[in-house]
């Protein structure tokens, strides 16, 4: 099976259930507070492992990162590359409103301590035929892209969070983008959120790349220069959407690593992400493959 190396963030998610999002100059009381393991990197590694992929996570935690390592180990992720730094772990402050929507602030902490030597040290054990997965929550992402390309690895980028610096990365070296409609619009520099416009601009801008684009209630699509495959959502009662995109990404890449047919990959990723929407938290909400199969067979109920 193809190996997946994920150089990505590990966060402690401080999650506040609230009536509605706090506004400028306002103080509101939270209805509930919980802490979960999260970080786009960690969530995607867990989804990959629960989907059956062989995944190696590289990144860093602080003194307070024990739970982050535990959840990865329990899921079967290889954690030998993760370093403990003399600082705090990354964390996220997440508001979840009564409509199950969220907004998120992240603080990088140890995630921003990955230097070029560290990345070289990890990449030396990987080569052509292996997949490198990246998001935009750790330091030196551009360097990792450049070095992995020189080795001939297949590079998959989830351009999230989408911030200005990301447009300066060597994005023409990316083989596969996995992104939502907001990131798609920004990456395409589209004048509207019209999915057809986004798709055509992305194909024009990155002619050698393939894309998995999630469109919220409108499902998701895979496309490259040759084909377009659409997938509807599995309808569930939403509880917390945090980590749903990461679940989609992890299951999607696991399907690719296992050599599945694209329609099957899309179904599986979509079912997995629907299950995660029906549960609280990021990493804890990610289903295993048996639950995903039940959902695809119409037996999943939430």
Residues that bind ligand RIB (CB under 6 A): 9, 11, 13, 38-40, 43, 92, 104, 106, 137, 242-243, 245-246, 282
Can you tell me the distance from the alpha carbon of 114 to that of 177, in angstroms, rounded to the nearest whole number?
A: 22
- The SS3 call for residue 34 is strand
Least Å distance, CB 96 to ligand RIB, is 11
CB closer to ligand RIB, 126 vs 248: 248
Least Å distance, CB 141 to ligand RIB, is 14
Question: Beta partners for 210?
Answer: 176
CB closer to ligand RIB, 106 vs 187: 106
Phi-psi region at 47: left, alpha or beta (left = phi > 0; alpha = psi -120 to 50)? alpha
State the first-to-last Cα distance of the chain, in angstroms, to the nearest integer: 32
Q: For the beta carbon of residue 57, count every other beta carbon within 10 angstroms.
A: 29
Residue 128 tokens, joined: 């052509």
- The SS3 call for residue 81 is coil
CB closer to ligand RIB, 14 vs 151: 14
Can you tell me the distance from the alpha carbon of 216 to that of 181, in angstroms, rounded to the nearest whole number?
A: 8
CB closer to ligand RIB, 114 vs 153: 114
Least Å distance, CB 38 to ligand RIB, is 2
Contact in structure between 39 and 114 (CB atoms under 8 Å):
no
Q: Which residues contact 174 (CB under 8 A, 6 or more apart)?
A: 145, 155, 156, 157, 206, 209
Burial of 259 (0-12, 13-18, 19+ CB in 10 A): exposed
CB closer to ligand RIB, 153 vs 236: 236
Least Å distance, CB 64 to ligand RIB, is 14
Least Å distance, CB 109 to ligand RIB, is 11
Can you tell me the distance from the alpha carbon of 43 to that of 283, in angstroms, rounded to the nearest whole number?
A: 5
Can you tell me the distance from the alpha carbon of 77 to that of 47, in angstroms, rounded to the nearest whole number?
A: 10
């Amino acid at each position: 099976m193809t190996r997946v190396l994920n150089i990505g963030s590990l966060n402690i998610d401080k999650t506040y259930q609230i009536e509605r999002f706090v506004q400028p100059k306002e103080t509101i009381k939270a209805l509930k507070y919980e802490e979960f393991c999260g970080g786009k990197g960690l969530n995607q590694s867990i989804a990959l492992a629960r989907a059956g992929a062989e995944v190696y996570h590289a990144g860093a935690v602080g003194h307070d990162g024990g739970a982050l390592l535990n959840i990865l180990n329990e899921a079967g992720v290889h954690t030998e590359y993760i370093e403990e730094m003399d600082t705090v772990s990354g964390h996220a402050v997440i508001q979840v409103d009564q409509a199950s929507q969220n907004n998120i602030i992240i603080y990088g902490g140890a995630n921003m301590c990955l230097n070029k030597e560290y990345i070289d040290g990890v990449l030396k054990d990987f080569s052509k035929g292996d997949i490198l997965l990246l998001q935009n929550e750790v330091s030196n992402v551009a360097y990792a892209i450049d070095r992995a390309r020189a080795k001939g690895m297949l590079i998959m980028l989830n351009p999230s969070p989408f911030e200005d610096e990301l447009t300066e990365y060597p994005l023409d070296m990316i083989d596969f983008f996995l992104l939502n409609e907001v990131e798609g619009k920004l990456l395409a520099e589209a004048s509207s959120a019209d999915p057809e416009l986004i798709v055509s601009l992305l194909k024009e801008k990155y002619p050698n790349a393939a894309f998995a684009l999630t469109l919220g209630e409108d499902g998701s699509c895979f496309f490259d220069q040759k084909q377009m495959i659409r997938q509807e959502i599995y309808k569930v009662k939403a509880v917390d959407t945090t980590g749903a995109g990461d679940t989609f990404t992890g299951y999607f890449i696991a399907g690719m690593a296992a050599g599945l047919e694209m329609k099957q990959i899309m179904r599986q990723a979509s079912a997995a992400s629907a299950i995660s929407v029906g549960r609280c938290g990021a990493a804890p909400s990610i289903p295993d493959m048996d639950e995903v199969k039940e959902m695809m067979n119409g037996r999943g109920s939430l």
